[in-house]
A and B are shown apart, each in its own frame.
Chain A
Amino acid sequence: MNYSDPSIVASADAPFLSLDGVRKTYPGVVALDGFSMEVRPGEVIGLVGENGAGKSTLMKILGGVTRPDTGTITVDGVAHDGLTVEASIGSGIAFVHQELNLFENLDVAANIFFGREPLRAGPLKLVDRARLRAQAAPLLKRVGANFSADTPVSALSLAQQQMVEIAKALSIKARLVILDEPTSSLPIAETDKLLGVIKALKADGISVIFISHRLHEVERVADRVVVLRDGMLAGTLPKSAINHDQMVKLMIGRMLKEREKAAESARPPGSVALSVKAIRTAAYPDRPVDLDVRHGEILGLAGLVGSGRTELARVLFGIDRSFGGSFQLDGKDLVLGSAADAVANGIFLVPEDRKLTGILLDLSIAQNISLPNLPAHSRRSLVSASAEAATAEKQKTDLGIRAPSVQTRTGTLSGGNQQKVVLAKWLAMKPKVMILDEPTRGIDIGAKAEIYGLMRALADAGVAVLMISSDMEEVIGVSDRIAVMHEGQISGILDKDRFSQENVLLLAVGKQPK
């Protein structure tokens, strides 16, 4: 299936955007190699490919940040050798990035019209706040927002912030909205809303390029899927042919079985490792949480964003104090005054925000891995570089961390490899309870499967694994049991025979499962 096949392209509409034979090389490597695609008005393109397949380069070319070496970009009938940032914006191409670019200290309307605020008459050029809000309101309505234009952005959830970004795109009369991994940090219900917004954009005749690693979402929303592999077009799938397995096959050129393997537990779960009784977190100080995590199981913790899962993880790891309640580790009472106490007891956390809290980007792989266990890598309080390197080398081999050496700065690694470094620092110690908060967010499919494999290996070694995830496929595919949180409490626990998206969703909104 090649894009130049006229039977697929045939359409009465002239394409809004078409790329023809785009090639971009960086010294020593070809990032894009003769890539061609078209986007018609009102068409939703799913763009998938592993990290490094050339998606970022493609986005940079469309955004006008970089110019292709050869090839043509035709926007709205006008052919260019390469776009500039101004030309990209001017022709109606808008981006909503994975990392949002909003000013948290300003309200929604101010963000949408930032730099283009309606002004009051007079020499002082004061911002006309009333008009600002009035102009923002219809845009918010179009994206289905349930918040008003004067809400501070800091009070919004991630999904709501994305809606603001999309409203911003609409405000500049965008004709093509490119969504880069928009759902990677969204929980199920919010994702549904976002997919709804995409459909609304489509109905208005706006084209969408939807980039995602969550293939089932691509499946739901895309009219056509374009698969990139190694800088080349690996194939396009018309609507009728879009399915998970086809996409994966084109993306990696083989079928993937790791997830199925990860789902099978090698042994029945053991005794209760961590028992949480009537713990209350800062998010919901009036709602006690009870939860048991057993040795040898992967307990999935599902729920909507804001349901208190991350706050629970922070309390379990000693970062935040609990308001009352108690912990027991292997039947013994436990007091957690700090993360250091948790670490000393073998309770480890792979946090949600890798770059902010998971690793130190400026330190080397070896230094990151030894950090929680530095005294063991030292002699008479002096750090032993050779002991550090030895531990790191072992982890690098065991986890397949792809880096030139263990002395490489972690900041230069890909997301998947950074996540492996976070895991490695804990695996180098003896975990009893391993808490993973959104462990595969923003990580490509190959690395995801490896991380699932590692989690299963941990469980098989008797570790109690608690995995917080907003990715429904992941929760159902990987967990042995699923606990669902709703407004700060565990609304229910599902055993394997009752796993279904529907049941998890029902519990997540506080209803009884079937």
Chain B
Amino acid sequence: MSKKDLGLLILILVVGAVVAIINPRFLLPINLANTSNLIGLFGILSIGQAFVIITGGIELSVGSVVALLGTLFIDFIAVREMEWPLAFVLIIALGAIIGLMHGWLITRLKLQPFVVTLCGLLIYRGVARFYTADGTAGFAFGQNFPELEFLTAGRSWGVPNSFIALIVIAVVMWVVLHRSVFGRYLYAIGKNEEAAKYSGIRTGRIVIAAYVICGVLTALSAIYFAMYTRSISPASHGQFYELYAIAAAVLGGFSLRGGEGSLIGVLLGTVLLQELQNLVNLLGIPSSLNFAVMGGVILIGVLVDQQWGVFRARRRMLEATRKGVAGAAAE
């Protein structure tokens, strides 16, 4: 765990302690379970976003994809009466295809990630609304999917299964990002794509893979969100979720220029965001201020981090000149 992550963890604990003192309901099992469920849902989304951000890209269509794929999933199993495992696989595949398309447009046709995914944001939301004729997708009365509901909205030993899913995904993705060859390539591309290319890395494929990973994890979270809300009005479902994901990554120490950030960081970023949401509810802050609180905390967090970085860079430079001159004198 890096110092940055540690700092974030301490912040989370301090905020948690303060909230618990003011309102002890914070620590009630029901509250913790609800919050960790939300952490699970948003965490899966944010990890996907993190893989794109690490390459120096951005994925703005996440919220719309959650709406579109969620709508389709409920439609597949509730209206079209498809077997849910088949629908599940189809939705994940659709997520992968969306990621593949974005990656292809960005790497092969050299479009900017911001532009491609902004268009995605508009298109998928529009398609989702058209698909339901601006209505609501939901289950009919008495429709039950016990296994699916257990896996998505159920609990094991009191812990929401969505949270457990996040932990499993996080462990796997931690290995991928921090220990695998692919992860090293991602960092190299994020740091300096040209130099990575000159080292013989097929940078295009790696970047596409990052978007596919993002698409798959977004599709997965779309299913979780659908089973959590159980009814979707595509005009508003998932709105701003891309911003939650980006915010979690930025809070977690990711640089939007790419090449920087850790998986633990984005997890902690998600936790802090959900903790803040919870804080707004528990401390009786008007919920209309919800976004303002989040924005304020992110701004302060990034500012502190930035100043700390400047301070460290200055110190490192001083040391380097010292060493450089010392080395030269020694030679």
Could you list which residues of chain A lie within 8 angstroms of chain B, going by C-beta atoms?
26-31, 51-53, 57, 230-231, 317, 319, 338-340, 342-344, 349, 351, 356-363, 367, 371-372, 374-375, 378, 381-383, 402, 412, 414, 425
Q: What B residues does A29 contact at CB under 8 A?
A: 322, 325-326, 328-329
Least Cβ distance of A450 to chain B in Å?
13
Question: Is the CB–CB distance between B179 and A382 below 8 Å?
Answer: yes
Asked if B135 is at the interface (CB within 8 A of a chain A CB), the reply is no
Question: Is the CB–CB distance between A357 and B198 below 8 Å?
Answer: yes
Question: Is the CB–CB distance between A351 and B324 below 8 Å?
Answer: no
Compute how far the CA of A315 lies from the CA of B137 in the bound complex, rounded to whole angstroms.
55
Q: What A residues does B196 contact at CB under 8 A?
A: 360, 371
Query: Counting chain A CB atoms within 10 Å of each CB, which of B183, B191, B195, B202 scores highest?
Result: B195
Compute how far the CA of A319 lies from the CA of B324 in the bound complex, rounded to whole angstroms.
34
Question: Is the CB–CB distance between A340 and B202 below 8 Å?
Answer: yes
Q: What B residues does A317 contact at CB under 8 A?
A: 198
Question: Is the CB–CB distance between A360 and B321 below 8 Å?
Answer: no
Partner of B329, one of A230, A339, A349, A363: A230
Q: What A residues does B323 contact at CB under 8 A?
A: 412
Q: What A residues does B202 contact at CB under 8 A?
A: 338, 340
Compute how far the CA of A342 lies from the CA of B326 in the bound complex, rounded to whole angstroms.
40
Compute how far the CA of A340 lies from the CA of B328 in the bound complex, rounded to whole angstroms.
37
Question: Is the CB–CB distance between A26 and B322 below 8 Å?
Answer: yes
Compute how far the CA of A76 lies from the CA of B329 in the bound complex, rounded to whole angstroms.
32
Least Cβ distance of B182 to chain A in Å?
7
Which B273-331 residues have a C-beta within 8 angstroms of A? 320-329, 331
Q: What A residues does B195 contact at CB under 8 A?
A: 356-360
Question: Is the CB–CB distance between A360 and B200 below 8 Å?
Answer: no
Least Cβ distance of B74 to chain A in Å?
36
Q: What B residues does A367 contact at CB under 8 A?
A: 184
Question: Is the CB–CB distance between B325 and A412 below 8 Å?
Answer: no
Q: What B residues does A402 contact at CB under 8 A?
A: 327, 331
* Complex A-B: 27 CB contacts under 8 Å: A51-B328, A52-B324, A52-B328, A52-B331, A53-B328, A319-B197, A319-B198, A343-B200, A349-B198, A351-B198, A357-B194, A360-B191, A360-B192, A361-B191, A361-B192, A362-B192, A362-B259, A371-B184, A371-B188, A372-B199, A374-B184, A374-B185, A375-B181, A382-B175, A382-B179, A383-B180, A414-B324
Asked if B94 is at the interface (CB within 8 A of a chain A CB), the reply is no
Q: What residue of chain B has the Cβ atom nearest to residue A318's Cβ?
A: B200
Q: What B residues does A378 contact at CB under 8 A?
A: 180-181
Report how many A-B pairs have Cβ atoms within 8 Å. Answer: 104
Compute how far the CA of A29 lies from the CA of B330 in the bound complex, rounded to whole angstroms.
9
Q: What B residues does A339 contact at CB under 8 A?
A: 197-201
Least Cβ distance of A59 to chain B in Å?
14
Task: Classify chain B's interface size.
Answer: 20 to 34
Question: Is the CB–CB distance between B322 and A27 below 8 Å?
Answer: yes
**Contact of A381 with B322 at beta-carbon distance under 8 Å, contacts A30-B329, A340-B201, A358-B198 already known:** no
Could you list which residues of chain B lie within 8 angstroms of chain A, going by C-beta atoms?
175, 179-185, 187-188, 191-192, 194-202, 259, 320-329, 331
Question: Is the CB–CB distance between B198 and A412 below 8 Å?
Answer: no
Question: Is the CB–CB distance between A371 and B199 below 8 Å?
Answer: yes
Compute how far the CA of A382 lies from the CA of B182 in the bound complex, rounded to whole angstroms.
8
Q: What B residues does A363 contact at CB under 8 A?
A: 187-188, 191
Do most interface residues of chain B lie in helix, strand or loop, or is the interface mixed? helix
Q: What B residues does A351 contact at CB under 8 A?
A: 198
Q: What A residues does B200 contact at CB under 8 A?
A: 339-340, 342-344, 372
**Contact of A371 with B201 at beta-carbon distance under 8 Å, contacts A356-B192, A362-B191 already known:** yes
Least Cβ distance of B210 to chain A in Å?
16
Q: What B residues does A372 contact at CB under 8 A?
A: 199-201
Compute how far the CA of A356 lies from the CA of B193 in the bound complex, rounded to whole angstroms.
9
Q: What residue of chain B has the Cβ atom nearest to residue A402's Cβ?
A: B327
Q: What A residues does B324 contact at CB under 8 A?
A: 52, 412, 414
Q: What A residues does B198 contact at CB under 8 A?
A: 317, 319, 339, 349, 351, 357-358
**Contact of A26 with B321 at beta-carbon distance under 8 Å, contacts A356-B195, A371-B196, A374-B185 already known:** yes
Since A26-B325, A339-B199, A402-B331 are in contact, a sample of 12 more A-B pairs with Cβ atoms closer than 8 Å, ordered by chain A residue number, is: A52-B327, A338-B197, A340-B200, A340-B201, A344-B200, A357-B197, A358-B195, A362-B259, A374-B181, A383-B183, A412-B323, A425-B199
Query: Counting chain B CB atoms within 10 Å of each CB, which of A349, A360, A361 scores highest?
Result: A360
Compute how far the CA of A414 lies from the CA of B329 in the bound complex, rounded to whole angstroms.
13
Partner of B194, one of A27, A343, A356, A382: A356
Compute how far the CA of A50 lies from the CA of B80 in the bound complex, rounded to whole angstroms.
77
Question: Is the CB–CB distance between A382 and B181 below 8 Å?
Answer: yes
Question: Is the CB–CB distance between A52 and B192 below 8 Å?
Answer: no
Compute how far the CA of A374 lies from the CA of B200 in the bound complex, rounded to whole angstroms.
10
Question: Is the CB–CB distance between B182 and A381 below 8 Å?
Answer: yes
Compute how far the CA of A130 lies from the CA of B192 in the bound complex, rounded to whole angstroms.
41
Least Cβ distance of A235 to chain B in Å?
19
Q: What B residues does A344 contact at CB under 8 A?
A: 200
Compute how far the CA of A230 lies from the CA of B328 in the bound complex, rounded to whole angstroms.
8
Least Cβ distance of A414 to chain B in Å?
7
**Contact of A383 with B327 at beta-carbon distance under 8 Å, contacts A340-B202, A357-B194, A372-B199 already known:** no
Least Cβ distance of A498 to chain B in Å?
34
Compute how far the CA of A360 lies from the CA of B320 in the bound complex, rounded to whole angstroms.
18
Query: Counting chain A CB atoms within 10 Å of each CB, which of B183, B198, B324, B325 scores highest?
Result: B198
Partner of B325, one of A52, A358, A359, A374: A52
Question: Is the CB–CB distance between A383 and B201 below 8 Å?
Answer: no
Q: What A residues does B199 contact at CB under 8 A?
A: 339, 343, 371-372, 425
Compute how far the CA of A358 lies from the CA of B197 in the bound complex, rounded to whole angstroms.
10
Least Cβ distance of B237 to chain A in Å?
37
**Contact of A231 with B181 at beta-carbon distance under 8 Å, contacts A356-B194, A363-B191 already known:** no
Question: Is the CB–CB distance between B180 and A381 below 8 Å?
Answer: yes
Query: Counting chain A CB atoms within 10 Å of each CB, which of B180, B185, B325 scores highest?
Result: B325
Q: What A residues does B187 contact at CB under 8 A?
A: 363
Q: What residue of chain B has the Cβ atom nearest to residue A343's Cβ?
A: B200
The 6 closest A-B pairs by CB, nearest first: A52-B328, A343-B200, A29-B326, A372-B199, A371-B199, A357-B198
Q: What residue of chain B has the Cβ atom nearest to residue A370's Cβ?
A: B184
Q: What residue of chain A has the Cβ atom nearest to residue B260's Cβ?
A: A362
Question: Is the CB–CB distance between B181 and A28 below 8 Å?
Answer: no
Q: What B residues does A349 contact at CB under 8 A?
A: 198
Q: What A residues does B328 contact at CB under 8 A?
A: 29, 51-53, 230
Q: What B residues does A359 contact at CB under 8 A?
A: 195
Compute how far the CA of A53 lies from the CA of B197 in the bound complex, rounded to whole angstroms.
35
Q: What residue of chain B has the Cβ atom nearest to residue A30's Cβ?
A: B329
Compute how far the CA of A28 lies from the CA of B103 in the bound complex, rounded to whole angstroms.
51
Compute how far the CA of A2 lies from the CA of B199 in the bound complex, rounded to whole angstroms.
49
**Contact of A360 with B181 at beta-carbon distance under 8 Å, contacts A52-B325, A344-B200, A371-B196 already known:** no
Least Cβ distance of A207 to chain B in Å?
27
Question: Is the CB–CB distance between B329 and A231 below 8 Å?
Answer: yes
Query: Counting chain A CB atoms within 10 Å of each CB, which of B191, B195, B200 scores highest?
Result: B200
Q: What A residues does B175 contact at CB under 8 A?
A: 382
Compute how far the CA of A357 lies from the CA of B195 in the bound complex, rounded to whole angstroms.
4
Q: What A residues does B179 contact at CB under 8 A?
A: 382-383
Q: What residue of chain A has the Cβ atom nearest to residue B189's Cβ?
A: A360
Compute how far the CA of A118 lies from the CA of B134 in the bound complex, rounded to whole angstroms.
61
Compute how far the CA of A31 lies from the CA of B180 in the bound complex, rounded to whole angstroms.
43
Question: Is the CB–CB distance between B329 and A360 below 8 Å?
Answer: no
Least Cβ distance of A192 to chain B in Å?
32
